[in-house]
Amino acid sequence: MIAFLQYDKKYQEKTFEFIYKTMSEELIVDKETLNKITKDLEDIEKNYIEKNGNMWLAINEETNEIIGTIALTEIEKGVAELRRFYVKKEYRSRKIGYSLYTILKKQAVEKGFTEIYLVSGKELKKAHEFYQRNGWKIVSNSKEKINIYIRDNAYLYKKVV
């Protein structure tokens, strides 16, 4: 059975390990860049919950293993960023990602966000299919004036809520 939970500090270490491992396996980045772009995970409460957002976890209740994550953080009033959206490879195509995404969308509406951005590595083709099926549009990095770090070899997506 899969449980969908709001982040709790007791999952801090497991959450960091899951996301770091997933990113190191799937993104084309060097270790220095990987360390830089995971700094936010050192304090999830400060970087997500205290920024008018949250993080949600999908947990396999039989193994107590994190198998998916998704997070939301406010960039500016009415504008949020979707971050840390990962599902473990062997659990993909089971609606786990869609369930996490549905939780995030509901929270975004409740918090009054009208736009959500996300950054996704160009190599993550299946993720791009998911985003596009769900109404996300690629926007030009140079035309969008938003405070989001966009690494080389990544797309910036936007969705109006």
Q: Which run of H or E residues covers position 115?
A: strand 115-121
Q: Residue 145's pLDDT is what?
A: 64
Q: What domains does the chain contain, in order, with CATH numbers?
A: 2-160 (3.40.630.30)
CB 56 within 8 A of CB 70: yes
Q: Which run of H or E residues covers position 19?
A: helix 12-26
Q: What is the pLDDT of residues 70-129, one digit of tens each?
A: 999 999 999 999 999 999 999 999 999 999 999 999 999 999 999 999 999 898 999 999
Sign of CA dihedral 17, 33, 24, 81: positive
Q: What mean pLDDT, rounded, does the chain reach?
A: 93
Band (57; pLDDT cuts 50, 70, 90): very high
pLDDT higher than 80, residue 144: no
Q: How many CB atoms lie within 10 A of CB 21?
A: 12
Q: Residue 141's pLDDT is what?
A: 52
Q: How far is it, in rounded angstroms, from Cα 17 to Cα 96?
A: 19
